[in-house]
Chains A and B, each alone.
Chain A
Amino acid sequence: MVDETVVAANADELRAAVWQRVQQARNVKRPHTLELVRAIATEVIELHGDRLFRDDPAIVGGFCRIDGRRAVFVGHQKGAETDENIRRNFGMPHPEGYRKQIRLCRLAERLGLPVVTFVDTPGAFPGPASEERGVAEAIARSIMVMTGLRTPIVTVITGEGGSGGALALAVGDVVLALENSIYSVISPEGAASILWRSAEYAQQAAVAMRLTAAEQLALGVIDEVVPEPEGGAHHNPDETARRLRARITAHLDTLAGRDRKVLVDARYARYRAMGEFAVVAPTGEPLPERPGFVERIRRLLVSGRAALVGESGLPSGPAEDEAEDEQQVGQDT
C-alpha cells in the first residue's frame, strides 16, 4: 500500500516525495484553523477558556455558520508569523486547551449542534507545566468524550496530525484530510531518534510510518482526501476553503438526519474495527519459566551462533517447521 499519488522510481525518490508532503503539511504559510473557518463560514463567534485554569491560544473554538448550518468548531491554532506562533505555542496545546475543547463539545451536544474539528498540531506540549496539569488525562478524557458525544462530528486534518495531541480533536463520524496533510503516531523525528537512534533518519521514519493522507485513506484511518489547489493549500486558501466547505456540508447533512444512538454506535464501531490481528491457537499452558527447546534453538540462530546447530546434530529446519505448524493450526480453528 503505497501512496499512489507519489510517483517514485526508487527508495530515494519515494523518500523525497514523502518528505515534501511533510514539509507542505508544516508550511507556516498554510492556512490555519481560524483562517479556514473564516473562509468556510459566514459567521464566526470565538469562545474562550476552559473555566478551570486559563484560555489556551493553541486551541480555538466557538460557534460558526456554514452555508446556513449552525455548528460548533474546534481546532488547533498555529501562528502565521513568529510572534503569533510564540503566543500560540506553535499549535502545541496545554491541558487547558483540551478542557476547553471538552467544554465546547459538551455545549454543542446540549444545544443539538454538530461539531466540526480542524486538526493541525505537532503534538500536545510536552513540558513540565503541561505534565503538572495532567495533559495525558486531558487528552484521554477528551478522546473519551468525543467517542460518546451525542451529536455529529466531522473532522478535517488540515496540516500536521501529531499523535495523541491530534487524536483528541480527531475522533469523528467522518474524518477528512487535506491532500498534503500528514497523520502519525509520533513525529518522524521522534520515531527516528527512538528506532534509529538518530533524528537524522526522520525521512526514513516518515516513509515507514505511512503518514501521507493517501496512505491513511488506504489504512482506513481517514475516510476521504480533499484535493488541494495546485501548489498546495497556501497558494489559494479561498479555493481550499471552498472545497472543504463542499465536503463538510455534504457530510453534515448526511449525519444530521441520523438517530443519535445509531450515530454514537456507528462511531464506536468505526474505532472498534481499527487495526488487524491474527488469531493463532492458544497454547493453553501457563507461561514457561524459561524459553522452551524450540525457542532456545531459534534464539541461538538469531544470535548468530548457527554454526553450533550443526555440531549438535540438529538441522535448522525443525524449529521453523514447528512454528509454522502452530500457525496453521491457528488458522484452521
Chain B
Amino acid sequence: MPIKLPFGGRREQHPTNLWTRCPDCGEMLYNKQLDKNQRICTRCGHHFRLRVDARIAQLLDRDSFKEQDAGLQSVDMLGFVDQKPYPERLDGARTATGIRDAALWGTGTIAGTKVALCVMDFAFMGGSMGTVVGEKVTRAAEHALEERLPLIVVSASGGARMQEGTLSLMQLAKTCAAVGRLADAGVPFISLLTDPTTGGVFASFAALGDVIVAEPKALIGFAGARVAAGTIAEQLPEGFQRAEFLFEHGFVDLVVARPKLRETLLGLLRYMRPTVHVDKAGGNGSSPIGRSPAFLESLIKREPAHG
C-alpha cells in the first residue's frame, strides 16, 4: 500500500521490533540476524517459534508449496463469549498474524519428492485446533491417501480450541480417523513436533506418526506443565515434557536441530514411500495385514454377536 500513515511508521521503528531477548540465555539478538539464522539463538541454540511461512520455506523446495483450501474460516458455532466474543478474537488473530486460521496445508516437494504438508502456527490463537485446523489436517491426510503421497504435519499448538467446545474435541476423532486410514493403506506419516505441542493436538494425530521427530527442547506433553504441577502438587522432574524427556521415554524417534530438519526428512522419505501391497488375493491391498477385507470379514463373522 502506497499510503503511509505517520503513526504506523513510528511504531514500526520502535526498537523493540529490532531486537529480541533470548529467553534461555538472555542474549539480545538482532532480529534480522535471528531470521537469517532460522530463528535460532546464535549464542545458546535456543529455537524460537517459527511462523508458518518461514517453516514452509525452510522445509520445502523453493516455490514448490501450493496451498490448498486457503479460504477455510472459523465460525462461532456456540456463540462463545468469555472476556471477549470469539469472532472478535478471531478477527484480532487474523489481523495480527496475516493468516486465516492456525494451520495451512498444501503440497510441495523436498528435494524433488512430492509430499502433502500441513503446518500449524502458534501465533494464531496459540495454534489451537478448532474445526478449521482439524479440517485442514484431515484434508491433507485424505489427499495424501488419494494421491499416495507421504504426509508431513508440523505441529505447534496448545491443544483444542476452547471456543468451539466439544466440536473442537471432535476434531481429535476426525484427525485420528484420517491418519488411521493412512496407516491401513501403507501411506507413511511423519509427525514433526515443535514448541509447543500439547493437549488435544498431542493427544491425537501428532502422537500417531509412523516416525515422530521433535525440535530440541520443544515443550511436548498432554497437560500443561502448570496444570500437572497444580493438580498434583508433586515436584516435576527436570526437563519434564521437553523433547529430550519424550525421547528418553520412547515417544519420539529423533530430536533434530532446525538446520538439520530438511536433510533428516529427506533421509526418512527415502525409506518411507507409500507401498503397494502385491498380495493378489488381497484385492485392493488396503487392509493392514495385506489380507482381503473378505478374509477379515470371515474372521469377524465366525461367531454371531447374539448367543
- Contacts from A to B (Cβ < 8 Å): 1, 68-71, 109-114, 124, 126-128, 130-137, 139-141, 143-145, 147-148, 150-152, 161, 163-164, 167, 171, 183-186, 190-191, 194-196, 204-205, 208-211, 216, 219, 221, 252, 256, 260-261, 267-268, 271-272, 274-284, 286-288, 290-293, 295-296, 298-300, 302, 305, 308, 312, 330
By a CB distance below 8 angstroms, the chain B residues around A302 are: 91-92, 95
Residue of B nearest to A207 (CB): B81
Q: B107 at the A/B interface (Cβ < 8 Å)?
A: no
Q: B164 at the A/B interface (Cβ < 8 Å)?
A: yes
A123: min CB distance to chain B, Å: 8
In angstroms, Cα B287 to Cα A150, docked, is 12
B145: min CB distance to chain A, Å: 12
Interface window among B110-118, B146-154, B272-280, B293-301: B293-301
Q: B25 at the A/B interface (Cβ < 8 Å)?
A: no
- Contact between chains at A126 and B304 (CB < 8 Å): no
By a CB distance below 8 angstroms, the chain B residues around A284 are: 70
- Contact between chains at B162 and A282 (CB < 8 Å): no
- Contact between chains at B74 and A277 (CB < 8 Å): yes
Partner pick for B72 among A132, A190, A195, A277, CB 8 A cutoff: A277
Residue of A nearest to B6 (CB): A312
Q: B135 at the A/B interface (Cβ < 8 Å)?
A: yes
A281: min CB distance to chain B, Å: 6
By a CB distance below 8 angstroms, the chain B residues around A152 are: 305
In angstroms, Cα B304 to Cα A112, docked, is 7
In angstroms, Cα B96 to Cα A221, docked, is 32
- Can you list 9 A-B contacts (CB < 8 A)? A144-B179, A185-B168, A195-B162, A260-B296, A276-B77, A279-B72, A288-B98, A290-B98, A308-B7
Interface window among B26-34, B41-49, B220-228, B254-262: B220-228
Q: B78 at the A/B interface (Cβ < 8 Å)?
A: yes
User: What is the size category of the interface that chain B forms with chain A?
Assistant: 35 or more
In angstroms, Cα B304 to Cα A114, docked, is 10
By a CB distance below 8 angstroms, the chain A residues around B3 are: 293
- Contact between chains at A256 and B305 (CB < 8 Å): yes
- Contact between chains at A209 and B208 (CB < 8 Å): no
- Contact between chains at A290 and B12 (CB < 8 Å): yes
Q: Given A70-B307, A144-B180, A272-B138, A185 and B165 touching (CB < 8 A)?
A: yes
By a CB distance below 8 angstroms, the chain A residues around B22 are: none
Partner pick for A281 among B71, B96, B203, CB 8 A cutoff: B71
Q: Given A277-B132, A291-B95, A260 and B169 touching (CB < 8 A)?
A: no
A276: min CB distance to chain B, Å: 5
Residue of A nearest to B134 (CB): A275
- Contact between chains at A275 and B78 (CB < 8 Å): no
In angstroms, Cα B76 to Cα A1, docked, is 12
In angstroms, Cα B160 to Cα A295, docked, is 27
By a CB distance below 8 angstroms, the chain B residues around A183 are: 166
- Contact between chains at A275 and B208 (CB < 8 Å): no
- Contact between chains at A140 and B169 (CB < 8 Å): no
In angstroms, Cα B170 to Cα A171, docked, is 9
In angstroms, Cα B181 to Cα A260, docked, is 15
Q: Given A110-B299, A194-B162, A260-B300, A144 and B176 touching (CB < 8 A)?
A: yes
Residues from 170 to 188 in B contacting A, C-beta threshold 8 Å? 170-174, 176-177, 179-181, 183-184
- Contact between chains at A133 and B249 (CB < 8 Å): yes
Between B75, B172, B237, the greatest number of chain A beta carbons within 10 A of the residue's beta carbon is seen for B172
- Contact between chains at B200 and A132 (CB < 8 Å): no
Residue of A nearest to B293 (CB): A261
Q: Given A132-B249, A167-B172, A167-B173, A140 and B299 touching (CB < 8 A)?
A: no
By a CB distance below 8 angstroms, the chain A residues around B164 are: 185, 275
Q: What are the 6 A-B residue pairs with the smallest beta carbon separation, nearest first? A: A275-B131, A126-B223, A282-B70, A274-B170, A147-B177, A293-B1
In angstroms, Cα B170 to Cα A216, docked, is 12
Q: B40 at the A/B interface (Cβ < 8 Å)?
A: no
- Contact between chains at A276 and B236 (CB < 8 Å): no
In angstroms, Cα B160 to Cα A312, docked, is 41
B217: min CB distance to chain A, Å: 16
In angstroms, Cα B160 to Cα A139, docked, is 14
- Contact between chains at A219 and B167 (CB < 8 Å): yes
Partner pick for B234 among A1, A127, A280, CB 8 A cutoff: A127
By a CB distance below 8 angstroms, the chain A residues around B202 are: 136, 140
- Contact between chains at A109 and B167 (CB < 8 Å): no
Known: A134-B207, A150-B296. 10 other contacts (CB 8 A): A71-B305, A113-B305, A127-B231, A134-B250, A137-B208, A272-B138, A274-B167, A287-B98, A290-B12, A295-B98
